[in-house]
Amino acid sequence: MFGNTRNGESWLIVGLGNPGKQYEKTRHNCGFRCIDILADMLGCKIDKGKFQGLYGQCSYNGKKLYLLKPQTYMNLSGKSVLQLSAYFGIPPQRIIVLFDDISLVPGRLRIRANGSAGGHNGIKSIIQELGSQDFPRIKIGVGAKEHDGQDLADWVLSSFSAKEEKLLAVSLKNAADAALCIMDQGIPRASSLYNGVTPEA
């Protein structure tokens, strides 16, 4: 399914989130917000509606790059990822996924080359659809639930405080830079630069 592309090396950066204005600023939509930052950085318009998603196409340092925001809602994100990556012949190792992580404090990132879903339904869907865990991912900290009895769905669909938004602004830019660094210099280099960095509040 994932053959060599005829036009050289192609990459896909996916941001996870839920479509709809009511979800724009929620914890679960950090991936979408990071894609918007990348689009601004690269002058890429996310205006093509296909593959059950919104995507844009641009280039970065001689590589063809696709930016994708699945429109399936979080739990079915993998369907959009599979459709686009199969169509353009992009293997899992060149699919970078940006998503929220409740085990990290706001402002903090964690970069991984592969791994399990870790309880994240969007990642679970991507693993299931691709049939592989071997895709790079950048986890964006959104903070843990405020108390044990709090419903997880309510928490990830809640908004950030003003203080958290300041931290998030830095980490979203770092996540965008880290994704491009993975493309250019590899996961170990990106990890050494961006893993565990926590901006000042």
> Is position 147 annotated as part of the catalytic site?
no
CA dihedral 67→73→75→79, nearest 10 degrees, is: -50
According to DSSP, residue 27 is labeled G
Q: Catalytic one among 12, 18, 28, 126? A: 28
Torsion angle in degrees (nearest 10) through CA of 61, 181, 114, 120: -110
Buried b (16+ CB within 10 A) or exposed e, 162-181: eebeebbebbbebbbbbbbb
Q: Is 154 left (phi over 0), alpha (psi -120 to 50) or beta?
A: alpha
Task: Tell me the catalytic residues.
Answer: 28
